[in-house]
Amino acid sequence: MIRQYELVDLVKAYNPDADEALLNRAYVFGAKAHADQQRANGEPYFGHPLEVAKILTELKLDDATIVTALLHDTVEDTDATREQVEKLFGKEIAQLVDGVTKLGQLELSSKETAQAENFRKLLLAMSKDVRVLLVKLADRLHNMRTINYLRPEKRVRIARETMDIFAPLAGRMGMQGMRDELEDLSFAVLNPDARVSIMRRFLTLKKQTGDLIPRITEEIEAALKKQGVEALVIGREKRPYAIWRKMEAKKISFEQLSDIYGFRIVTKTEIDCFRALGAVHLTWRLVPGRFKDYISGPKANGYRSLHTTVIGPEAMRVEVQIRTQEMHEVAETGVAAHWAYKDGKRAENRFAVDPFRWLRELVNRFETGDAPQEFLEHAKLEMFHDQVFCFTPKGDVVGLPKGATPIDFAYAIHTDIGDSCVGVKVNGQRVPLWTRLRNGQTVEIIRASAQRPSPVWEEMAFTGKAKSAIRRALRHSARSEHIALGRQIVKQAFARIDKESNDKAMETAGRKLGCRSIDDLLERVGAAQITGRQVVEAVYPTAPVEDGQGNSLRALGPPVRGVRRGAAVRMCEHCRPIPGDRIVGIAKDSTGVVVHAIDCPLLAEHEDSLATWLDLRWDEDADQSADHVARIDLTVANEPGALGIVCGLIGEQRANIDNIMVTDRKPDFFIVRVDLEVRDVKHLAGIVTSLEAQAIVNDVMRPRAHPADEAA
């Protein structure tokens, strides 16, 4: 366990002006608070906060962050309170400790909806002060380093959580070194056999070729010296998880993998980076397609470097990264560079990006109304994927995740540009909207003011920003459509009782049905959440609703014969039989009798129990009531106003719409399922005929497939 003076010395090594009294006070407070606690390995618990603090000293962080590391478990796991912490260490440290405590209470591996909500809370806490995340990541890193002392099932849960959430977050925050270690430690828990296999293959390779890293390092240093470039050369084997991930992505074996060695050249100036690149390319042959310039086009997390792969000694592929010392600090520590100290002063690193920008964008996106699951999906997409860089016609650079399409490009510039996109030119050529963009392409978005997003765009889009904007636009469009449809349904429902559906009547109905406005009421009617009859009854509860021919629409009981008196009778929800259909009944011990049309596919499930079958027939006056609900499926052209025309035709045939929903939607057509209140088969046939006569209606049918087949 690190001693008190050792921790102070670690901090003062990079910040001679550190508040030694504050650090000592925090050390003593934490040690006393955790005095009676032990970790799973039997060691004193306070050793854990000390190791977390030590990890943060490697990032050269400020006193407040180091003290937060020492105290981060006191409020949650001991008798200490936030008030005590604030009194002894100040408001800033108390807020940081409180933020880390709340993160520790989140169960990020729980079921999806809860995970998404907790992830949002994590981002909210981080967006207030990113140092909360730095402490949490250091806490998770030390926990992963000591994970073998936990129960197997707990190890797997924590490792999966680390791989899914914390490692990508570290990468998105630019902390690549920490991300690599978190991923590899998780890999050792989640797939130990694969990791051991890769380690053994490394040992076999070393026996065959010797240790290539010192030899290649010397050759690179000689090449740089020849060109007069002063630089530090660092060589390493890639981590087992990075090797395995590449093998999985390319579907190749370890023996087929070439670039398993990586080298970094750290120079003094940016000019030296390009001189070093020239020295490397003059010495070894470049592998085509493997050069990337992240200096002129940095990644979103501030990462800058030149990447190249060459054919090195013994025909081995060698990956080389070239960057300045400032770039190297950002590459290794990411957002931590904002708080890092050098020679007792806060180090101003010109390459470090604003750590709050991405977090604010994500939090704002959640607050615009995305569902929690959608938000989590978008956040993970943006954390995991590398970037491509494309240009606008004016030469502005737009960074996008690898796999992005022109739709993502349009929304990355502005939501209005995305919403009005009708086409795209890439390098001057028209291409489909689903085209995957590549580095260096110039993208020109073609717009039209009347254009609106299509549902298929969501499948084409890759970024969370684009998907979120498309869903928002579709929800707005669907709301407008539902309001227009609901207005027609309500108008027909009031007309049946010779009443007018004016705003005052609808306001009254809306209040009784719990709607905030007339538009909300009409939207719910159009979305089949409320029926037109419910709206009428909310205003005129005692008015009899008729079909226009003096026939009451209120059925007094099941209009079938062949059922014993007192038995509960209900119509099959799938086939929806109506007078004129041949019908049979299936007796149910607990639920009475279910009435089916003779061609209902559900009857096949009762072929082995014919004793439960009942021969039923309709009452003679069954067709005098329009309370029978029939179901039809319509294939309708995807055109503005199409649903309004359908509803108008149904109303003209004196039928009420009980329910309506779109079951499938394509660019050219959509399938609508409509439940209608009709008198009998003849009434329904008249409605079907009038619908089939319309150019916008391609097909009308009563569904008869088995529900399981429909779901498939």
Contact 204, 249 (CB under 8 A): no
State the Cα–Cα distance between residues 26 and 68, nearest whole angstrom: 9
Roughly what angle, to the nearest 10 degrees, separates helices 518-526 and 464-495?
90
3-state secondary structure (DSSP) of residue 298: coil
Query: Which residues on neighbouring strands pair with residue 677, listed in sequence order?
Result: 629, 656
Beta strand extents in 394-550 (DSSP E only): 397-401, 421-426, 429-431, 443-447
Contacts of 687 (CB under 8 A, 6+ apart): 632, 649, 650, 653, 655, 676, 678
Buried-state track 617-647, b at ≥16 Cβ within 10 A, e below 16? ebeeebbbbbbbbbbbbbbbeeeeebbebbb
State the Cα–Cα distance between residues 281 and 113, nearest whole angstrom: 51
Block residue for tokens 């606690």: 37
3-state secondary structure (DSSP) of residue 267: strand
State the Cα–Cα distance between residues 585 and 612, nearest whole angstrom: 8
Closest by alpha carbon to 328, among 174, 100, 522, 152?
174
State the Cα–Cα distance between residues 30 and 24, nearest whole angstrom: 10
Q: Which residues are catalytic?
A: 76-77
Block residue for tokens 């854990």: 48
Roughly what angle, to the nearest 10 degrees, separates helices 372-384 and 464-495?
160
Closest by alpha carbon to 293, among 281, 302, 304?
304
Element (H, E) at 12: helix 4-14
Compute the C-alpha angle 114/119/125, nearest 5°: 130
In residues, how long is the chain?
712
Contact 424, 444 (CB under 8 A): yes
State the Cα–Cα distance between residues 618 and 555, nearest whole angstrom: 13
Closest by alpha carbon to 700, among 711, 682, 709, 687?
687
Element (H, E) at 560: strand 560-561
Tokens of residue 556, six digits: 């007094």
3-state secondary structure (DSSP) of residue 575: coil
Burial of 335 by CB count in 10 Å (0-12 exposed, 13-18 middle, 19+ buried)?
buried
DSSP secondary structure code for residue 429 in this structure: E
Element (H, E) at 332: helix 325-333
